[in-house]
Amino acid sequence: MKEILWLNKINAPSVKSSFCAYLDILNYRHKMLIADIMEDSNDFLRDLIEISRKNVNTLNNQIQLKICNDKVVLGIPDYNELDTFNKHNIRRVFKDIARFQFQIVLSGYIIKGALSYGGLFINDSLIYGDALFSSADLRNEAIYPRIILSEGMKNKVIRYLNAYDDGPDDFIPLRAYILRDDTGRFFINYLSSSLITSLDPPDYRDLHYHKTVIDILCRSLKNDGLYFEELSWVKQYHNYFISFCCPCAYKSLLFEDVEETNCENIDIL
């Protein structure tokens, strides 16, 4: 059981320094109401179970995933405190969280939230710790469908990039999983999950599917007047990623009539 991650050397429950993401599924209630109207609530439930199962199977076994209605919590003990990991595995934390967000979006859900660092404990019946409060309090500052970093998490990333080599050329470096906006806010660059190595272009099929899903969400929510600004931002972000990572890609991957967004790669090194 993953509860062992939050046990001390004498197998007693223990708060550990951890990464904690607290996420809101913005269109969860809308999907649930539609399912109730169409009398296919059980189909909606099976969809949620499948999404949970798929993500649990693809996340590495150091991550604890909890979903309660439209709230999602991801907890990851700090690898630096575990003898079996090295300091470069902070890259794995961001890789897994980016992959989780990407898969959730491809399943038709809009999420936003925050990633923080601090004390955390998770078992089958309890989530406890200041990291949870920090990310829960911060999530509304994300504004758009993105996972922002707390100041503590941002400083940890900066220290890491200043202190350590960011991996071999064929690795996806940590910086690839993080963007910053014009206010200096850091957030997860989840479309980097379409990258295989830093030497190869992204998987165009994944990016095309992402565009298709966002198009479908825009059409399905248009009549209800829901999440227009949020989905407009996702389109901007999508076009930014295409323009930056694969400027020679087919124009069919781009959303038309979308303003540029104020994102840039972090350039600490």
| 209 pLDDT above the threshold of 90 | yes
Distance CA 5, CA 181 (A): 34
Please check whether residue 3 lies inside any domain of the structure: no
Q: What is the mean pLDDT of residues 98-115?
A: 93
Mean pLDDT (the chain, rounded): 81
Q: What is the mean pLDDT of residues 172-195?
A: 88
Share of the chain above pLDDT 90, in %: 37
What is the separation of C-alpha 4 from the centre of its chain, rounded to a whole number of angstroms? Answer: 24
The count of structural domains within the chain is 1
Please check whether residue 57 lies inside any domain of the structure: yes
Q: Are strands 111-122 and 127-128 parallel, antiparallel or unpaired?
A: antiparallel
Please check whether residue 4 lies inside any domain of the structure: no
Share of the chain above pLDDT 70, in %: 80
Quote the domain boundaries for residue 209: 13-265
CATH number at residue 191: 3.30.70.1230
CA 53, 30, 125, 150 dihedral sign is positive
Please check whether residue 5 lies inside any domain of the structure: no
Please check whether residue 91 lies inside any domain of the structure: yes
**Residue 196 confidence class, pLDDT cut points 50, 70, 90:** confident
Q: How confident is the model over 23-46, as pLDDT tens digits?
A: 999 988 888 887 777 767 777 777
Please check whether residue 167 lies inside any domain of the structure: yes
pLDDT score at 120: 94
| 113 pLDDT above the threshold of 50 | yes
Please check whether residue 192 lies inside any domain of the structure: yes
Helix, coil or strand: residue 164 = coil
| Torsion angles phi and psi, residue 24, rounded to 5 | -105, 130
Please check whether residue 6 lies inside any domain of the structure: no
pLDDT score at 251: 76
DSSP state of 75: E
Greater model confidence, 178 or 197: 178
